[in-house]
Amino acid sequence: KAGVTQTPRYLIKTRGQQVTLSCSPISGHRSVSWYQQTPGQGLQFLFEYFSETQRNKGNFPGRFSGRQFSNSRSEMNVSTLELGDSALYLCASSLAGQVQYEQYFGPGTRLTVT
């Protein structure tokens, strides 16, 4: 069974631009979560989707948004990029959104904002 895939793997953008990151979960998984990882802040929760509905959102500004499609694939969008948005963005999928289901992570998208 294929794992979680994320595209693109690397991205360089200029301040003020916007970016869209994509995540394809493991087949059959309905829950997708996004995380931002930086050396200073560690792993921070961005949002969680289940069956096309955003169930939770972390403490990030409105420039960060996302959505999930009927096939469970998810996209994350960041508008008006800032230098501080440079990070590794990780997507994780799980069978369902309950506490006992482990999350499987994709390889991440490394975003650099210049």
CA distance 64 to 36: 11
Considering beta carbons, is residue 79 or 107 the nearer one to other proteins? 107
Closest C-alpha to 2, from 72, 100, 76, 104: 104
Rounded to a whole number of angstroms, the minimum distance from the CB of residue 21 to other proteins is 14
- Residues near other proteins, by CB under 8 A: 31, 33, 35, 42-43, 45, 48, 50, 55-56, 58, 88, 90, 92, 97-108, 110
Find the shortest distance in angstroms from Cβ 80 to other proteins.
Answer: 26
